[in-house]
Structures are given as structure tokens and as C-alpha cells.
Chain A
């Protein structure tokens, strides 16, 4: 077990290292990073100050050392627009993003799991076909489009829901749906295949031999086991949602991390853009690590595998 955790953690460390290297490299490959890190139209003195601060006149490996060192201290740079550290801005917005992600995730599970079960019970019949259509639409409709159509219908024509902003539960409904839509399709697909796998197993055959009714087999025996991979995926997807919500948050002016990223783009505030990417990539690497370790604790086959 200890060995497994050490090996798995070292992979993650390597990933984080490559991640920082990628970001470091890309910022420098296109020219003088100082031009990205100062406000447009900054004076020569400001640029010189940035050179000084990040050691841009030093050799590359020293620069990289400084870059990583500042990351370790939680220093993602200073936003031009807000004049505050990017890390603080990020933490300010994180609760909003998490709230949106949790609601969107709940919605997507509420739609995806029952639809997946229906499809698996009815392989090849109506609900299965319906489910496939749903998956296809989920993959093909970009979330900003779903968002705009929702606004058109529920805000402009029906006037039931507020089109943007945050504050009341009503503000959450449309963004959560627009964000959860894509994930509902992927949860449906996984529920279906996972249910099919469980339904083909020996213990379900035994339950059938005992003469249990179909509903009982599905609800009591198959459902619980089939749910494990779906919930794992959902756990990872909450983190993914926080990071892909930029479009939805822009459409609905939801004050989360995605919106912060959008502000970073429109105000040409590069430290924000860089900070959000670093935090996003880091979060996903770490969550994957935690989930793999939890899996190893639950399932000995994984940790004993070479």
C-alpha cells in the first residue's frame, strides 16, 4: 500500500512538474514575457521592474526556479485590473463556482442515472434509443448555445427566470442546467454500460434464479453496484465543471472562476489567465491522485498490480 501511494504520488509530482514546465515554456516561447505581465502601455521602467522581479535577465533555469518557488508560496502574481493578488481573487470566486458545480452535478445525476437505468433495462427498445439521441445532443450542443436558448425562452419570452447575475436560488437554475447538460449525457452513458455489466454478472443470474421480480433485482441488487463508477466519475467531474464553466458563467454573468477568467481575457489581465490555468490543472492532478489512492484502499487488486 505504502509503495503504491509513493509511486502514484511521484507520478502526480511529475505531472505537476510538467504542468509548470509547459506553462513556463509557453509564456516565454512567444517573446518577452514582461510584455504579457505588465499592463498594456506600461512605461519602460515598469517593464524593467518586472524583469527585476521575475529575474527575466537571469538564465532560464534560474527563472524557472523562481517561478516554481513563487507558486509554492501561493503567489500567482498581481492582477492589473483589481490590483490584488490573483490567488485571493481565485479564492474569492471559488465558492460560487463550487456552488454552481454542485447544483449542476446534482441535476446531471438526477437526469443521467434514471435515464441510464431505463436504457440498460430496455436495450434496443424505445428508452435506449431515446437515451442515445439524448447522448448525441448532449455532445453536440455547446453549452453557450444551451444557455442562450434557455435565456431566450425562460427570460425573454416567459419571463420566469432572471437572465444573469447571482444571489437567489432562481439565478442558479439556468446556468446549472446549461452546465449539467453535457455531463448528464456522459453520466447516462456510463450508467447504462455499468448497469449492463452488472446485469450480466453471476449474482444477478442467481437472483433471477431465485425468482426475484425484475424491479427488485434492478433496485436492490444491480443499482448499487452499478453506481460506483458513476459516482467516481461525478466526483472528478465536479472539479472539471469548475474549470469548464467559463462559457456558461460568461453567458449568465455568474461570478465564479470562469467569469474571472473571462474578465482576465477582456481586460487583457494576463496574470489572471495564467493563475486560473495553473490552479485548474493542479486541482485536477491532485483530485485524480486522491481518487486513485481511495480506489487502492477499497480495491486491493489495484495496489497489488505491478
Chain B
């Protein structure tokens, strides 16, 4: 018969990170950073790296498979699409689109959300009520549908997509930042600043903002993946980045027709790029979350 000491097995405390150790050296997510680094590099030096013009193809060279398959040539390493455009070059230039849209949209959303979150949290009262009601309402709208709606109104272009994504995703920042500000404003240093005669804008800018910036950065990294997927979805549906611009989502949408006849490279390569980028962004975000902000772990 077992003693009570054997029987009482309380759940062991949740360990920090157990999964995906293989992706890291020590604590640092090396491979995700490398992947994002490569994609960033490709995005910056796309003009130099791409072997062909991404928007012009030769119809004589349509649907060429990657070079290791029969019929492929080393001239088009990853094959060509339905207009004879080089897939590799389009992927490289597509990295630029994803990076630009991803980073700027996250920044736009972050700035709007942080400003409104700080205002709602610090000023309180009716300002808080108005901002938070609006946040709740916008959160109720399914993000993708809302983005499609906005895109249908303003028309597709890369910068419109940035603004749309910013307009759709600021709510998540506002929620989190407001919560942080609510607890920050009860702290000693804020009270001292009030006693010292600082004006409200000064306190918000000089004392509150530096203390919520960590959370904003963590959220931004986690949002990067979401934003990139949404951009790809919008492009896939034809309301994102307009053709012939080489966006990964657009390439997938074009590749869809060739899928049934076995032109798999038109789908697999851009799809793989999206997955790698989003996966890396999420892993780095998770790592930053643990590093910078223990309170956000449950987010």
C-alpha cells in the first residue's frame, strides 16, 4: 500500500520553455533570427539578388519546373509561373513587400493603440469610456472581414493595406497598454511627478510611455506574424497588393490554378516563405515576451 506522500502528486510548476528547445541555443532563438535576417537581407538587396525582373516574363518559358526536375534549367532555379516570370525573383521581391507591409502596419497599429491606450488609462473618465467602447466594438468585428470591407472601399494598393491593417489591429495594443497604465498610474513615481507639478501630457509622455514601451514591443513582434498572414490573405483574395507586384499571397493565389495540373512549385515556395517568416516572428515574439515582460506571459 502506498503512503500518502506517494499519492499526493501535485502538478509540477509550469516550466519556462520546454518545447522547441532545438530551435534555440541556450535561450536565444538563433534559427528564427537567422531566417528573419535572411528575409530582411533579401528584401533590402532584392535588386541585386534577383536574377530576373520579377514583373516581366517570357511567354516562351511558361511553367518551367525547378532546376532539379526534368525540363527545368538553372536559368530559372525555382521555375517559372503562368506568365513565364521567374519564381525565385518574385519570391525575393515578395520579401520586400511582406517586410514593408508587415513592419509599417505593425508600427501604425502600435502608435495608434499605444497613444489611445495611454490616454484611456491615464485620463480615465469619459475619455476612457469612449476609447474602450470603440475598442470593444472594433474587436467584435472579425479582423479579416473588416479589412476586406475597408480594402473594398479604398481600393487595393500597398500603402492602403498598411493603413487598413493599422486601423484594424490597433485595438489589441490599446487593451493591453490601458491595463498597464491603470496600475502604473498608482505608483509612487507618478504621484511624485504630479506633486512636482508635471502636466498631464508630460507625465504621459515622460513617465508612463517609457514604462509601457516594453509591452508595446513584445506585442509588436507577436502582431508581426498576424499582420503578415492577414496581408497574404488579402492579397490571396485579390484585395491586397495589386498585381503585377510580387506579393507572396498573390503568388499563391495565382498558383492555385496550376495546382490541379501539378505545378506545385507555384504554391509550395511562396507558401513556405510565408510559414517560415510567420513562424520566426512568433518564436522571436515568444522569446521577447519572456525576456521583457513576465506579466504578458499569459497573453
Contacts and interface: CB of A to CB of B under 8 A. Distances in A.
B142 interface: yes
A200 interface: yes
Given A123-B14, A136-B283, A205-B8, A156 B259 contact: yes
Contacts of B2: 211
A132 B11 contact: no
Interface string A185-206: 0000000000010011000010
Contact of A140 (B11, B233, B278): B278
B15 to A, nearest CB: 4
B19 interface: yes
Interface stretch (B33-41, B54-62, B235-243): B235-243
Contacts of A273: 148-149, 152
Interface string B10-23: 11101100111000
A265 B238 contact: yes
A104 B195 CA distance: 57
Interface residues of B, number: 54
Contact of A139 (B8, B138, B237, B282): B282
B152 A15 contact: no
B144 interface: yes
Nearest to A199: B11
Nearest to A217: B9
A270 B150 CA distance: 11
Contacts of B232: 142, 144
Interface size class of A (residues with CB under 8 A): 35 or more
A70 B33 CA distance: 52
A276 interface: yes
Contacts of A264: 152
Interface in B171-202: none
A30 B282 contact: no
Contact of B237 (A151, A246, A270): A246
Interface stretch (B98-106, B119-127, B267-275): B267-275
B279 A142 contact: no
A36 interface: yes
A141 B275 CA distance: 6
A22 interface: yes
A142 B140 contact: no
A284 interface: yes
A208 B259 contact: no
Nearest to A27: B153
Given A123-B12, A140-B225, A26 B271 contact: no
B11 A123 contact: yes
7 contacts: A15-B133, A132-B19, A148-B256, A205-B10, A209-B8, A265-B152, A277-B148
